[in-house]
Amino acid sequence: MNTADLGLPVDVPSTALFTDQYEFTMLQAALKAGTAERHCVFEVFTRRLPEGRRYGVVAGTGRVLDAVENFRFEAGVLGFLRERRIVDETTLKWLADYRFSGDIWGYPEGEVYFPGSPIIRVEGSFAECVLLETVILSILNHDSAIAAAASRMSTAAGGRRLIEMGARRTHELSAVAAARAAYVGGFDSTSDLAAGFRYAIPTVGTSAHAFTLLHDSERGAFQAQVASLGRGTTLLVDTYDVAEAVRTAVDIAGPELGAVRIDSGDLLLVAHRVRQQLDELGAVDTKIVVTSDLDEYAIASLAAAPVDAYGVGTQLVTGSGHPTCSMVYKLVARAQSAGPAAPLQAVAKKSLGGKLSVGGRKWAARRLDVDGVAEAEVIGVGEVPAELAERQLLVELVKGGEVVAREPLDAARERHIAARAKLPLSAVQLSRGEQVIPTEYV
């Protein structure tokens, strides 16, 4: 189901203006020159991974499909373009009937990628494809950055549960997208209810320090919370004295207390002390949740601590230092004329400073070693070698303007776990390093 059909408040009526102005001026000039209808192939890729990252994670594909479906020029949008004189009347008339009618192929959501990987391939007329550049890059660059950070945190957590709780640290709509991307990358739940409502991500949350401070005593706050939410709730124990709070929590909820949360201090030391205290009080099944500005390095440092779950906010929704993936959307092939049978010609920008592109409509496959572990990302133009035919990565997403590959979010999450497991073990190291497998062009 297209989530836009739900009419949620996080939706906008059209994605058509999530676009840089020069897409429209190029369209107008191409229409006037008679080149707008030339068949073209655009590809999304990145020339490099963020510094220190060993692999990337494709996220946002489902949102891209929604954005393409909702790329419509309604009367108000056309009025804005006319009033600002951004394009002429001929172009406005063309835009009024815009519906993407081409094909889109791409890496399925949750898959890993490397420099040069043709993450998305968009085919159709120049006119219909060029307009999609900005919104596609906006979604993929943001969501893939969050998913990559989430993936690193997931491996660092070693199977312990992860809670996304960064809504208050980013734009309100970015928070929804970030929660979705984090779920793809391995997080288990979110505190953001809009994300839960829109994408069916599990939601969690109990109380903040304000709830404790509201009451005349910490005991009174805990009693109120347990009376309302039950003994299985999570009590925040670091408002005043942690040891006293743990004693009070168990005294009120008993050994059935669900969890305690620690949000400050030396988390490693405090977690050990709290675990010992809980066990001595008979609350051996009570879990420990830690928060407090965590990132993958802080999570890894707590591997030896008796922690059951981590709550992560700021570092997650900012990509843990890398808020974008530097993906680009480049024309790699175009027809020699507007005729339906015109042959495609590979094109590529020639530039200094590391901005070279490789022309041609590409395929991609991942070569595995005898143990089934990835050893190279192989990219080529033309016929796919027989030995790689079953290892191709691109799947059809849109055919003739119709979405053909929408899937549940859990499918992308499971795909990422499987794809990451087939990478060399060094992929999950947090130390700085190069991409874990090479990119080979054939």
| DSSP bridge pairs for 125 | 39
Residue 234 in tokens? 């999570």
Provide the 8-state DSSP code for 386. G
Nearest CA to 165 out of 311, 367, 329, 380 is that of 311
Number of alpha helices (DSSP H) and beta strands (DSSP E) in the chain: 15, 18
Residues 6+ apart with CB under 8 A from 272: 305, 306
> pLDDT tens digits for 171-182?
999 999 999 999
| CA separation for the pair 311, 170 (Å, rounded) | 16
> pLDDT tens digits for 21-34?
999 999 999 999 99
> pLDDT tens digits for 320-358?
999 999 999 999 999 999 888 899 999 998 876 667 788
pTM for the predicted model, two decimal places: 0.94
How far out from the chain centre does Cα 397 lie? 17
pLDDT category, 193, cuts 50, 70, 90? very high
| CA separation for the pair 146, 376 (Å, rounded) | 24
Indicate the SS3 state at residue 81. helix
Percentage of residues of the chain with pLDDT beyond 90: 92
pLDDT given for residue 1 in this prediction: 41
Instruction: Tell me whether strands 402-403 and 395-399 are parallel, antiparallel or unpaired.
Output: antiparallel
Q: What is the mean pLDDT of residues 405-424?
A: 97
Residues 6+ apart with CB under 8 A from 288: 259, 260, 261, 262, 271, 274, 275, 278, 306, 307, 308, 309
pLDDT category, 380, cuts 50, 70, 90? very high
Asked if 40 contacts 129 with a C-beta cutoff of 8 angstroms, the reply is: yes
Q: Scan for tokens 């219909």, then name that residue.
A: 128
Nearest 5°: phi and psi at 36? -65, -30
From start to end of 135-213, where are the E strands?
161-164, 189-190
| CA separation for the pair 87, 21 (Å, rounded) | 9
